[in-house]
């Protein structure tokens, strides 16, 4: 059994910011050149395919995500190593992303809007209860966390046919350690996924047939 290299979430999130009550707001993230929200800052409210023009390429050391869910990547055009940041404060980025971020985009409207949950609920209410928003692991049909996500909170010896048909190409593990296998019944090639973001599943890309929580 081999562990896929972890693309970890950036350090501990502290002091989660509260949403403005009852008001819809655009996604917003502020990046800082120095740790603990110091130094020159830049506020993003949309896709930034390259941060070089703003003078922030490979310069970011801390982040505040005020609203939405953001994907930050180590190369322009959302390539390289990527992680997903939930709303909150990140006073010191982990070493693997510190001073490495070159592009960023808000993905809440794609990955976390619940569209997949509602569609499955209409066809099969029981399915939605098993794969609901807010589970411990989030499955995306496209690499780089693209497409409508499905949330899983328990072990599944065989993925539902609808998920298997569209495939799983990237994963965010929000809690626990998970074993992903290429065949039903936790057989075939298996990898252990620690908490973190996996923008590219490598040999498991579009091959996952079962998932189970190890702890």
> pLDDT tens digits for 78-135?
888 787 887 788 888 877 788 999 999 988 543 333 323 222 223 333 333 333 445 6
Note whether residue 2 is domain-resident: no
pTM above 0.75, yes or no: no
Q: Note whether residue 117 is domain-resident.
A: yes
Residue 120 lies in a domain: yes
Q: How many domains does the chain have?
A: 2
- Both 206 and 147 in one domain: the answer is yes
CATH number of the domain residue 206 falls in: 2.60.20.10
125: tokens are 């209410």
Which pLDDT does position 154 carry in this prediction?
86
For residues 7 and 98, which has the higher predicted lDDT (pLDDT)?
A: 98
| Each residue's pLDDT tens digit, 137-173 | 889 888 888 887 888 888 999 988 888 888 999 988 8
pLDDT on residue 162: 80
> Which residues form the domain of 69?
9-106
Q: How far is CA 93 from CA 38, 62, 90, 97, in A?
A: 13, 6, 6, 6
pLDDT (0 to 100) of residue 180: 94
């Amino acid at each position: 059994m081999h562990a896929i290299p972890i693309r970890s979430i950036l350090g501990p999130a502290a002091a989660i910011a509260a949403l403005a009550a009852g008001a819809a707001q655009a996604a917003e993230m502020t990046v800082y050149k120095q740790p603990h929200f110091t130094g020159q800052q830049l506020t993003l409210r949309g896709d930034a395919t390259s941060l070089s023009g703003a003078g922030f390429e490979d310069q970011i050391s801390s982040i505040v995500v005020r609203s939405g869910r953001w994907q930050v990547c180590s190369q322009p055009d959302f390539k390289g190593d990527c992680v997903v940041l939930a709303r909150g404060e990140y006073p010191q980025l982990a070493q693997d992303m510190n001073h490495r971020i070159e592009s960023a985009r808000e993905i809440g409207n794609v990955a976390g809007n619940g569209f997949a949950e509602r569609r499955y609920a209409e066809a099969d209410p029981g399915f939605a209860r098993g794969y609901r928003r807010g589970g411990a692991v989030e499955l995306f049909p496209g690499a780089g966390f693209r497409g409508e996500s499905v949330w899983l909170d328990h072990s599944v010896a065989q993925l539902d046919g609808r998920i298997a048909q569209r495939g799983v190409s990237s994963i965010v593990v929000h809690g626990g350690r998970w074993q992903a296998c290429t065949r039903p019944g936790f057989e075939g090639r298996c990898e252990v996924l620690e908490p973190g973001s996996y923008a590219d599943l490598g040999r498991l890309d579009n091959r996952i047939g079962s998932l189970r929580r190890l702890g």
